Amino acid sequence: MPKILRAGRLFEVDLEQLFALGVRALLLDADNTLCFWHSLQIPEETLLWLRRAKRMGFQLAVVSNAQTRRLEPLATRLSLPVFYRAMKPLPFAPLRAARALAVSPKACAMIGDQILTDLPAGLLCGMLSVLVEPLDRSRESAFTKGFSRRIERILGR
C-alpha cells in the first residue's frame, strides 16, 4: 500500500485503484478539492464521481479547515457528514471522521490539494494521502499562492 498518491483533480481520482488498495472511506478536503475555493460550486464531473464512489460502497466525509457556517449548505446538498475546523495537518479531525464512519484509518484516504495540510494530515493518521490538483489555481488564498505553491515547486510537484 503506497502512502502517497498523486492525481489530477478530485473527479480524476481512480476509484477502482483505491478500492483495489483496500480503501473504503474517502475523506475529502473542501476548498479547491470538492468545490471551488470559498464557493459552494461543485463541478458536474465531481457530482458524478461522488455518486459513483457511493455506488461502489465507499464511505464519504468532508474534512475541512473551514468554519462550519460556510460549509453547511454543502453538507446538506451532498448529504455528507462534514468535519469542519479540522486544523489539518493535525490528525484529530480525520481520525474522528474515520471513527464516525466506522472505518479503520488504514482503510481511509485523505484527499486534498494542499501539500502542507491535507497531505501530512493523512500521513499522520496512517491513511493513504491523495494529493490532487486544485480545481482552480487562480482562486486560492494569498498564503497558498505565495508560500505553499512555492514549496510544492521546490519539492518538484
Q: Which of 9, 25, 31, 95 binds Mg ion (CB under 5 A)?
A: 31
Q: For 105, how many CA atoms within 13 A lie in the half-sphere containing its CB? A: 15
Query: What is the smallest separation between the CB atom of 77 and Mg ion, expressed in angstroms?
Result: 18
Question: Cβ neighbours of residue 34 under 8 Å, at least 6 residues apart?
Answer: 10, 28, 42, 46, 62, 74
Task: Return the number of the residue (8 or 22) whose C-beta is nearest Mg ion.
Answer: 8
CB 32, CB 148: distance < 8 Å:
no
CB 106, CB 5: distance < 8 Å:
no
Task: Return the number of the residue (32 or 59) whose C-beta is nearest Mg ion.
Answer: 32
3-state class (DSSP) for residue 83: strand
Q: Is the dihedral of CA 11, 50, 62, 43 positive or negative?
A: positive
Query: What is the smallest separation between the CB atom of 14 and Mg ion, expressed in angstroms?
Result: 20
| Residue 140 binding Mg ion, by CB under 5 A | no
Q: Which of 113, 119, 121, 130 binds Mg ion (CB under 5 A)?
A: 113
Task: Return the number of the residue (31 or 53) whose C-beta is nearest Mg ion.
Answer: 31
Query: What is the smallest separation between the CB atom of 117 and Mg ion, expressed in angstroms?
Result: 7
Which window, 30-38, 39-47, 76-84, 125-133, contacts Mg ion (CB under 5 A)? 30-38
- In the complex, which residues of this chain contact Mg ion (CB under 5 A)? 29, 31-33, 113
